[in-house]
Chain A
């Protein structure tokens, strides 16, 4: 079985300063100085893929990982994935920064995802794309079945793969019957394992592949005609002085002043 995990590097928002959150001319907070990490839902997807291979025989499961962008940090992560035993890691090159758009991301991943992968995993959400749409667009492009909110993968009897996912009705367990895209979200395993120095050394001769990005002109699902930032300013006052009683009085006063009480 060939499994592809699509992962994304996202800024570690905890590292930002207050001033970075003051939105200026751009469309969001200042992210230039933030460390990049693997998107947490994608980390879960990568770890689930590794566990699935462990549960099956390793020879039966070919693992590949794919990401958009080939920054130094993405390359470092890709090298780690190779050290963890991924058979192939690809980084799709792209010029400069582009705002996240799930349809564009799906279109960029699509040509590589078509290469005979029976199972494609992605994280459901990310810091800069809280919409869960990439997996949906990708499933549509591939004409694969889509399962969302996947939290667990198990190797079932007879080589079957059992998928556990969350739904409005509760926990759903099902066997995969054909090629599928799995959107992993809220999985209890949130961290990707760490390769040892020896594994890193052993995999040093391997390198992630830098893949050419497809030309997308005119291929997007939608044409962008404008962007407008909604006014979401909030009134804030920090209450640090005094004891509990004094703080409560100040909060009450603020609620009165703002007409909220």
Chain B
């Protein structure tokens, strides 16, 4: 099928108004924030999609997927466009970008059963604001909250900044509706728990549009007590001790909503007004007054038992907390700054068990410094803790020296990502903590999974036999 035929077919499915073929928009739709420099420079290296399609109903999604399966047309599901790992790149020529942002109906906010149901295109910010007005919260707060849509958050296995208390989206998701490539509309019902076989929600969670198209989600709700928040901050000299303290907090059973450790480089970037050349530990305790108070007191005693830690005025942490997220304005400002300074930043996040975190951190910093030119900042922080380990969020900025826009990724970003992934996998960690695989960590997916790749591969073969769902993402094109 050629591009014109694809577009004509799409118009028959959803009507002409919801099929977009304007070249500028197709260019924008061929990339995500992974290729932000190319995008800023107006250089587009990926095959342009044939169209962007706005879906509004599950039934038309079913018809679309069935048609795409029969014609072998690649679909790239799209939600809030906050992806950073190339998940939205249209690597297959004449793909169709399937956008859910018009599916924005909040179906119910149920304060008795403490769950909210909404269509896939509902903004997390909008949903959470409505919940907060009722004294409730989703508990989910990724940095992309002002942009992210509910379907995309589930599809990418998102995690928020308060995960240590509320968990990731996998802990919040109750049930959902998703459409599979054969046109089957499936609903997973909303119950507190069940032991009726495998948890099939996990097939959908994190599939990155590679198995199915999410049309509706139901998430848990929690009471919202912002008035009880306790903020704590500490300065310390080194990351090794920082990881030990984070571990102690988690292992002793405390549940702060935020437990973070910044190294001195990343700390200086965010906290130059109080951190000096130190690493920074940050905690926030929330919940019912007594619980929040006890959590804060326990963590305070635990950290202050380490004389190397110097307490920071909590008001600094409170102000940092109020400006955590990035929104369209911040992204627009970032574009101008990158263009003018020719300096750009990216991140790569991994997870590992406690015993491996510091060795990974050390190895990555050492290798990146030695192997990659033109760095202006190389650091990281740990922002999500568990009983058995945590994540590290590596942050790196570099000056763009003597390159064409399309060379930025290979010279810098992928070169750094490669080192981070290699050092993590070598120590048994996971190469993706919460940004997803996208199209640029696929090269290591078999190493990531080892013998369990059999399960992953079989899922793709079973649900997407005609290979029409976001090809090149998670599963390599072979």
Contact = CB atoms under 8 A, between A and B. Distances in A.
A and B bind: yes
Interface of A: 14-17, 20, 32-36, 72-73, 76, 189-198
A33 B376 contact: no
Interface in B341-377: 341-343, 369, 374-377
Contacts of B340: 189-191
B331 to A, nearest CB: 15
B342 A33 contact: no
B273 A36 contact: yes
Contacts of B319: 15-17, 20, 33-34
B272 A36 contact: yes
Contacts of B272: 35-36, 73, 76
A197 B322 contact: no
A36 B316 CA distance: 13
A14 B330 CA distance: 11
B337 interface: yes
B399 interface: yes
Contact of B369 (A33, A72, A197): A197
Contacts of B374: 196
Contacts of B341: 191-194
A32 B397 CA distance: 28
B316 to A, nearest CB: 6
B323 interface: yes
B20 to A, nearest CB: 25
Given A193-B342, A194-B343, A196-B374, A76 B268 contact: yes
A154 B317 CA distance: 44
A15 B323 contact: yes
A168 B418 CA distance: 54
Contacts of A196: 374-376, 398-399
Main secondary structure of the interface of A (DSSP, over half): loop
A76 B337 CA distance: 20
12 contacts: A17-B322, A20-B319, A32-B315, A33-B315, A34-B273, A192-B341, A193-B341, A194-B341, A194-B343, A194-B399, A195-B376, A197-B375
Given A15-B323, A191-B340, A193-B342, A72 B315 contact: no
A239 B242 CA distance: 44
A18 B358 CA distance: 39
Interface of B: 268, 271-273, 276, 313, 315-316, 318-319, 322-323, 336-337, 340-343, 369, 374-378, 397-399
B315 A191 contact: no
Main secondary structure of the interface of B (DSSP, over half): mixed
B264 to A, nearest CB: 12
A194 B323 contact: no
A170 B263 CA distance: 49
Which of B271, B273, B369: most chain A CB closer than 10 A?
Answer: B273
Contacts of B336: 190-191
Nearest to A30: B315
B316 A33 contact: yes
Nearest to A14: B323
A98 to B, nearest CB: 19
A199 to B, nearest CB: 9
Contact of B273 (A16, A20, A73, A193): A73
Nearest to A193: B341
Nearest to A12: B273
Contacts of B323: 14-15
A195 B325 CA distance: 26
A71 B397 CA distance: 25
Nearest to A72: B276
Nearest to B270: A35
Contacts of A198: 375
Contacts of A34: 273, 319
Given A33-B319, A35-B271, 10 more contacts: A17-B319, A33-B316, A72-B276, A76-B268, A191-B336, A191-B337, A193-B342, A194-B341, A196-B376, A197-B376
Nearest to B276: A72
A190 B335 CA distance: 13
A67 to B, nearest CB: 15
A189 B341 CA distance: 9
A118 B313 CA distance: 45
A194 B399 CA distance: 7
Nearest to B399: A196
A95 B71 CA distance: 75
A35 B319 CA distance: 10
A197 B398 CA distance: 9
Contact of B397 (A15, A73, A194): A194
Nearest to A189: B340
A60 B68 CA distance: 66
List the 5 closest pairs (A to B, CB-CB), nearest first.
A35-B273, A194-B343, A194-B376, A191-B340, A197-B375
B207 to A, nearest CB: 35
A15 B322 CA distance: 8
A193 B375 CA distance: 13
A116 B340 CA distance: 32
B131 to A, nearest CB: 14
B314 to A, nearest CB: 10
B273 A197 contact: no
Contacts of A189: 340
A198 B376 CA distance: 8
B441 to A, nearest CB: 25
Contacts of A197: 369, 375-378
B110 to A, nearest CB: 21
Nearest to B342: A193
A126 to B, nearest CB: 17
Nearest to A83: B376
Contacts of B276: 72
Contacts of A192: 341
Contacts of A73: 272-273
A15 B321 CA distance: 10
B366 to A, nearest CB: 13
Nearest to B401: A196
Nearest to A188: B340
Contacts of A195: 376
A37 B114 CA distance: 44
